[in-house]
């Protein structure tokens, strides 16, 4: 049987292939990535897009979550101060209502409660990074303003009842704010500002109408409890955010591991393949050089 | 009785023959590296014997020339395989460039330039950040930055694909002159071969012709047909004549709709060349199928994102408290009017980050509900123009051109696209009939005797989007119905079994799984016929074909204004288009809202303009933007990988055939050395015989005495 006389060109083709294989493996080792083009593993390439998307979404949620946690913590500590101010106001009012104070003491209590009112209003108008945190969606509008044209004075809420939510990657909605109307000027006996304004009016003349003052003090106590309840909503949000953020971080770790396994080169395997490929290349080179060193045909033997 | 002088003749003939043979060997060695040269062997012929006094004497040998060691069947097979390998190589090179645009992100850095997958996530995540602080200026700026990155990368990818497509177009048109040079050369060689060697191998001329055929096979797909007197006809694989004996037909190229088409005479053979093979086939497949398919996916992605983000942002409240209006559109991206071209045109038109509507409609600027909704678009279906399709087509009607047609792209609920055509025909004066047609991708031919035939697109490849259902008798009585299986991209129609292949096999399997008996599927030239059991008319039922054209009449008054119909044409419905899709609804708005505005009179009194309008876009149950992109890269990767495997196999096959052909036809120096050695000995022997004869002759002339003659 005749053979293909140009068999050495096939050897060169094999050598080219082996070199290209080595180039690929070296690229994998140097970059640490096993898939450098879509066609190497189409399914993994597609999966990689989805995994990276999920990882980045998780990452983005963690960042957002830390931003809003700070804001919620400001809201929480503000409400803490409100509660202590109101507690002080209740205690002042109670002492003024026991009938033992003279006129100037009663007026002094009235002035102190008026001071507390100003302080609570200032707390209710707290802003975080330039945005009012108890204004609902109207974060650029001063939420509470007081008009002293009437007696008792009236405090008006200028925000709205809008509540913002942050959605976790799993779709859980976490409340981000409590509108000021819900905390400070809720209807019925829960309005902080109505109760404070009434007490200031009660004590402004130096004489106390006991039944009115006691009733207004009770209203302030009820409003205080209500503020504490609203604070719980804020605290719950902080807890939920922390939990969600932890869960997302843990999920992110798992996803990153999965993505790493999917895309990163297994150094041991690649090294072995590279070594095999090098051996093959050396062998091919030897064969080719052997063939070259010998004369290729019988002509060399002819005398 | 032989004489010494006849022995002289015999041996001098042998010396001549050896010399001729040696010159053939020398020629072989000289051409050892000539491409296309076929090894030649000397032909030895024993001379006719002579009869003298009833005794037969041999009359020596003659060398009658050389024969090329050629296997034409093997050469033709090699050429054929070379055509396929060249096609897949050219296609693979093009696809490698395409996939380089979408290199997988390793994830080692948070953002890789040019990674659309990351851009998508980054863009939607910027809304997640904005949820936390909807009024934060830097977060708003971040939304626009990430939008620009996304739009820039999608647009760049589309531009690169277009550039690659143009480059392929140029390379393809460059092939024409090479093909023509080769076909002319083959025609010329045919003439020479027919005149010099009509009945036998033409040696060198035939080598040249074979070499031309090999080169032609690298370029395009061809068939070779031997004709009389050693002539040869060459056609494209689909039968278009390129060379007929001594005449060749030039391949010409010309631009059709901006791309190069190929012609022989007036026949456009572009699609034949595409599927034919050779480099040109590979270029054209990449140019007309692979790249348009990638572009179309990017277009869908760009359209879906732009349309849905714009729509949502326009309905929210921005930082200045505004909601989008016709006069003040709050669009982040430039609004696409149609899917085609959306990717290339994608850009961010919004410059003021305050115009990002993070708040819901009617809510304060501190609200984040719209930002939440926009972030959620990442996990919602990609918007596509569907069902009620937005279309904008305008056509000048002029009685001097009594017929005019506009075409537009419309979509069904599954996102399949159709080319709808609106044809206007003048009925005299200012009256025009219109006819709107939406052709089904499959043209059905329902048969009366329990069978149905479908033409599946062009050639043997199944078009996507069949609307076929089949009802047949169940083994245990009653009837069962199946929906034809989904068609995968590029799926072959296949053949009837057993075992059946391609789409026929998929249909067979589904029919068998449903327990339907007596139904058979066959394929004749791409027309698939599904037949019911003999004599059971109606046992096979197909979905109806797409509904008939919507028709009507437009009448204009003397000043060119439309008077009839008096109102917009609403509720034009096309059904039966593709599997599972709802009917396609079109509203043809001939009049602008509030006035008969958009039919306008132009310069000539008889010139009237046709009309159009916008519709709405809807949402399909398709994949999310990231899911869509993921699917796109997987599909692209699988295509490239498939072509790679195909190319490797074809190259291996070419190598194998080449080895076989080389073994037969290439100059083997060992053989030549051996032949030369043999001929040398033979020549030496003949020389010796000649010397001996000379001595004998000398002896004969001197009668045994060493005297005068020596």
Sign of CA dihedral B33, B38, B41, B45: negative
Helix%, strand%, coil% for chain B, nearest 5:
45, 20, 35
Domains delineated in chain A:
78-229 (1.20.1330.10)
Whole-prediction pTM value?
A: 0.73
Say whether residue A60 is in contact with chain B using an 8 A CB cutoff.
yes
B-chain residues near A302 (CB < 8 A):
673, 676-677
Could you tell me which residue, B519 or A262, shows the higher pLDDT? A262
Cα angle: B134, vertex B139, B141; to 5 degrees: 120
Q: What is the DSSP string of B408-422?
A: EEEE-TT--EEEEEE
The answer to whether the CB atoms of A46 and B631 lie below 8 A apart is yes
DSSP element (H, E) containing B369: helix B369-376
Q: Is B516 helix (H, G, I), strand (E, B) or coil?
A: strand
With tokens 């991206």, the residue in question is B333
Count of A–B CB contacts within 8 Å? Answer: 219
Of B118, B126, B119, B121, nearest to B144 by C-alpha is: B126
Q: What is the pLDDT of residue B412?
A: 58
pLDDT, tens digit, for every residue of A280-295? 999 999 988 887 655 5
Under a CB-based contact definition with an 8 Å cutoff, are residues A201 and A153 in contact?
Answer: yes
With tokens 């000289």, the residue in question is B30
Say whether residue B630 is in contact with chain A using an 8 A CB cutoff.
yes
User: Under 8 Å CB-to-CB from B411, ≥6 apart: which residues?
Assistant: B339, B384, B385, B386, B387, B389, B417, B418, B584
Domains delineated in chain B:
4-69+664-702 (no CATH), 99-160+291-380+624-639 (no CATH), 396-440+546-616 (2.60.98.20), 443-531 (no CATH)
Average per-residue pLDDT in chain A? 87
Token pair for residue B660? 């076989």
Q: What is the pLDDT of residue B449?
A: 46
Say whether residue B107 is in contact with chain A using an 8 A CB cutoff.
yes
- d(C-alpha B131, C-alpha B119), whole Å: 19
Say whether residue B259 is in contact with chain A using an 8 A CB cutoff.
no
- d(C-alpha B647, C-alpha B84), whole Å: 8
Q: Is the pLDDT of residue A94 over 80?
A: yes
Q: Measuring CA to CA, how many Å separate B278 from each of A303, B53, B143, B174, B575?
A: 48, 67, 48, 14, 41
Q: What is the pLDDT of residue B622?
A: 64
- d(C-alpha B461, C-alpha B240), whole Å: 21
Own/partner long-range contacts of B593-602 (Cβ < 8 Å, ≥24 apart): B596/B561, B596/B562, B599/B556, B599/B560, B599/B561, B599/B562, B600/B560, B600/B561, B601/B559, B601/B560, B601/B561, B602/B396, B602/B560
DSSP state of B622: -
pLDDT along chain B (710 residues), means of 10: 81 94 93 89 91 86 90 92 95 92 64 68 91 90 94 92 93 92 95 89 89 94 90 90 91 86 88 90 93 90 88 88 84 83 92 92 87 87 55 60 71 60 80 79 47 53 58 70 66 73 79 76 69 52 61 77 75 64 66 40 32 37 80 92 94 91 88 90 94 88 66
| pLDDT band at residue A101 using 50, 70 and 90 as cut-offs | confident
The answer to whether the CB atoms of A48 and B107 lie below 8 A apart is yes
Sign of CA dihedral B56, B61, B64, B67: positive
The answer to whether the CB atoms of B136 and A297 lie below 8 A apart is no
Q: What is the pLDDT of residue B388?
A: 43
- d(C-alpha B373, C-alpha B376), whole Å: 5
ipTM: 0.86
Q: What is the pLDDT of residue B112?
A: 37
Cα angle: B329, vertex B331, B337; to 5 degrees: 95
Q: Is the pLDDT of residue A168 over 80?
A: yes
Terminal-residue alpha carbon distance, chain B: 26
Residues 214-233 of A with CB under 8 A from B: none
């Amino acid at each position: 049987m005749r053979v293909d006389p140009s068999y050495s060109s096939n050897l060169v083709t094999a050598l080219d292939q082996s070199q290209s294989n080595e180039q690929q493996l070296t690229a994998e080792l140097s970059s640490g990535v096993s898939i450098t083009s879509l066609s190497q593993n189409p399914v993994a390439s597609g999966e990689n897009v989805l995994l990276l998307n999920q990882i980045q979404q998780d990452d983005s949620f963690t960042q957002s979550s830390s931003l809003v946690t700070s804001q919620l913590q400001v809201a929480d500590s503000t409400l803490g101060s409100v509660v202590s101010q109101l507690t002080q106001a209740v205690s002042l009012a109670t002492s003024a209502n026991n009938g033992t104070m003279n006129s100037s003491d009663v007026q002094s209590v009235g002035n102190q409660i008026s001071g507390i009112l100003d302080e609570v209003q200032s707390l209710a108008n707290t802003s975080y990074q330039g945005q009012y945190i108890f204004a609902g969606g109207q974060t650029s509008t001063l939420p509470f303003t007081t008009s002293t044209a009437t007696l008792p004075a009236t405090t008006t809420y200028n925000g709205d009842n809008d509540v913002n939510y942050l959605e976790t990657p799993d779709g859980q909605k976490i409340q981000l704010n409590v509108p000021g109307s819900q905390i400070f000027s809720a209807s019925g006996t829960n309005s902080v500002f109505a109760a404070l304004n009434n007490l200031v009016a009660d004590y402004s003349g130096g004489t106390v109408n006991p039944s009115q003052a006691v009733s207004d003090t009770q209203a302030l106590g009820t409003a205080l409890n209500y503020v504490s309840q609203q604070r719980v909503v804020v605290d719950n949000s902080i807890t939920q955010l922390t939990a969600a953020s932890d869960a997302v971080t843990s999920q992110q770790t798992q996803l990153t591991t999965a993505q790493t396994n999917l895309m990163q080169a297994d150094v041991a395997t690649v090294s072995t393949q590279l070594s095999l490929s090098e051996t093959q290349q050396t062998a091919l080179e030897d064969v080719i050089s052997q063939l070259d060193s010998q004369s290729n045909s019988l002509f060399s033997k002819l005398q | 009785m032989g004489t010494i002088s006849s022995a002289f003749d015999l041996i001098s003939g042998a010396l001549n023959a050896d010399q001729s043979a040696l010159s053939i060997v020398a020629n072989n060695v000289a051409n050892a590296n000539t491409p296309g040269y076929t090894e030649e062997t000397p032909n030895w012929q024993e001379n006719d014997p002579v009869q003298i006094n009833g005794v037969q004497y041999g009359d020596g040998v003659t060398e009658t020339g050389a024969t090329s060691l050629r296997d034409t069947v093997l050469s033709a097979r090699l050429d054929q395989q070379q055509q396929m390998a060249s096609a897949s190589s050219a296609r693979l090179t093009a696809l490698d460039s395409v996939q380089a645009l979408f290199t997988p992100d390793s994830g080692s850095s948070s953002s890789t330039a040019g990674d659309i997958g990351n851009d998508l996530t980054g863009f939607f995540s910027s809304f997640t950040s904005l949820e936390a602080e909807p009024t934060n200026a830097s977060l708003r700026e971040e939304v626009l930055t990430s939008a620009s990155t996304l739009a820039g990368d999608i647009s760049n990818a589309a531009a690169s694909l277009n550039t690659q497509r143009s480059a392929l177009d140029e390379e393809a048109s460059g092939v024409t002159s090479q093909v023509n040079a080769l076909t002319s050369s083959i025609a010329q060689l045919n003439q020479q071969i027919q005149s010099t060697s009509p009945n036998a191998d033409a040696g060198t001329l035939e080598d040249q012709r074979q070499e031309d055929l090999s080169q032609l096979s690298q370029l395009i797909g061809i068939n070779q047909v031997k004709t009389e007197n050693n002539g040869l006809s060459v056609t494209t694989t689909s039968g278009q004549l390129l060379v007929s004996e001594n005449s060749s037909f030039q391949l010409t190229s010309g631009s059709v709709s901006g791309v190069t088409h190929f012609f022989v005479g007036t026949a456009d053979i572009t699609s034949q060349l595409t599927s034919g093979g050779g480099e040109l086939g590979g270029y054209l497949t990449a140019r007309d199928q692979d790249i348009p398919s990638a572009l179309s996916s990017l277009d869908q992605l760009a359209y879906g994102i732009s349309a849905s983000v714009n729509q949502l942002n326009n309905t929210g409240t921005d930082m200045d408290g505004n909601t989008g209006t016709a006069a003040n559109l709050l669009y982040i991206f430039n609004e696409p009017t149609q899917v085609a071209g959306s990717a290339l045109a994608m850009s961010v038109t919004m410059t003021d980050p305050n115009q990002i509507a993070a708040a819901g409609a009617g809510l304060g600027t501190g609200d984040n509900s719209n930002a939440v909704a926009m972030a959620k678009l990442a996990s919602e279906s990609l918007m596509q123009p569907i069902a009620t399709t937005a279309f904008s087509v305008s056509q000048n009607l002029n009685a001097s051109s009594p017929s005019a047609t506009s075409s537009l792209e419309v979509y069904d609920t599954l996102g399949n696209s159709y080319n709808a055509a609106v044809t206007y025909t003048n009925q005299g004066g200012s009256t025009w009939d219109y006819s709107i047609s939406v052709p089904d991708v499959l043209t059905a031919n329902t048969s009366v005797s329990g069978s149905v035939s479908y033409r599946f697109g062009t050639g043997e490849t199944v078009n996507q989007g069949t609307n076929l259902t089949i009802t047949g008798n169940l083994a245990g009585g009653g009837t069962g119905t199946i929906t034809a299986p989904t068609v995968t991209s590029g799926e072959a129609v296949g053949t009837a079994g057993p075992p059946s292949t391609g789409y026929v096999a998929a249909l067979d399997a589904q029919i068998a799984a449903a327990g339907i008996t007596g139904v058979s599927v066959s394929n004749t030239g791409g027309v698939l016929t599904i037949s019911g059991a003999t004599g059971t008319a109606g046992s096979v039922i197909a979905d109806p074909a797409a509904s008939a054209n919507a028709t009507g009449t437009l009448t204009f008054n003397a000043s060119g204004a439309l008077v009839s119909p008096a109102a917009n044409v609403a509720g034009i419905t096309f059904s039966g288009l593709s599997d599972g899709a709802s009917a396609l609804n079109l509203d043809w708005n001939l009049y602008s809202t509030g006035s008969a505005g958009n039919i306008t009179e132009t310069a000539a009194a008889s010139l009237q303009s046709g009309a159009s309008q916008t519709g709405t876009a809807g949402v399909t149950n398709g994949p999310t933007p990231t899911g869509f992109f993921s699917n796109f890269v997987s599909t692209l990767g699988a295509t490239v990988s498939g072509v790679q495997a195909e190319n490797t196999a074809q190259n291996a096959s070419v190598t194998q055939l080449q080895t076989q052909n080389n073994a037969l036809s290439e100059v083997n120096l060992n053989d030549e050395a051996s032949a030369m050695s043999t001929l040398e000995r033979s020549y030496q022997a003949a020389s010796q015989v000649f010397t001996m004869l000379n001595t004998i002759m000398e002896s004969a002339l001197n009668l045994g005495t060493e005297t005068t003659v020596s």
